Structure 1
């Protein structure tokens, strides 16, 4: 069965493009049924046909709740199996999360639980860390605190800046997201309450992406 994926994005959409490329190559059995943004000028929107785009400025709504209701209604109308936050820069409210809980994923550029929130590359360098990475996790109301499904690691090199570190991490971040979506699309990933199941077994620790782009325990 082909999984239906809705993507939330605020920027250039590099993770979205990686998803679309994998679908086109036949390595991900999925369909992007809609792209949703809080920024009508976001480049990510241009990666799909007009009929699959939805964008609106939150400032055009009476309040945050009204905006998120409109967003949630638009997402629900595409009947997604999975909703993926891929560079979506707004914190989602409790009502939106509750509506899609258990099929709402986020990719975050840090080795969670380290560095929730923004500026993760700079924070890792400033802390003197020897490695950095990205995590895919289920979304819950607490920011970047849902169960971490899988992570990928890259070294922090002498002389790294936030920009060089981000550039080196990005292709590994793409590979991580695609690997997790492969699990999800195959029906091998579920969230049941506070327990995440992978291949029918409780996921006790995050999976790791190896150099061959495989998820391993």
Structure 2
């Protein structure tokens, strides 16, 4: 058995509930990463599964792994063609003025010697679209559902800060890094269509650190 929860499993796909704080690739400075779990995640198969998409180190929840190279190629194409439905939950370090909306901001990468790299809203960047709605408010902070149409790096984090004017709680890059031990973002559900087969459909339970702040998903 693996110590990472498995949310979906068949002959070509696994969806795992990635813990917040676990990087997918081994950090340059070393340390534990998802790579340390690949052997366990073979689950009787000869080859280890391969991640199809990315989640930030801090982000918890649904991560799709392909169990063979052909499946990896097909699933990656589904992401590129925006056929994959993704649902995220995030805790904002404040409360937006509206209850729901759509954020359309193009994103570009910048870097500096002092701060390293980060994403910013820029007209010449890559188009990105996120639909959002507020689900709950506790202690002056909002639980928000995000449904991104595109999958840009740090998309939800930048859209929260620049589109809503409020960063995600605990975000050390786009916020002040306070109020939580990690950036409070959770990949709650994932649906991947497949030709001739039922879709891959998975949902990850609300993490303990979200529940500890008084929130529930529903």
TM value normalised by structure 1:
0.30
More strand by share: 2
Higher helix share: 1
Which of the pair has the greater relative contact order for Cα pairs under 8 Å at 6+ separation? 2
Return the TM-score normalized by structure 2. 0.30
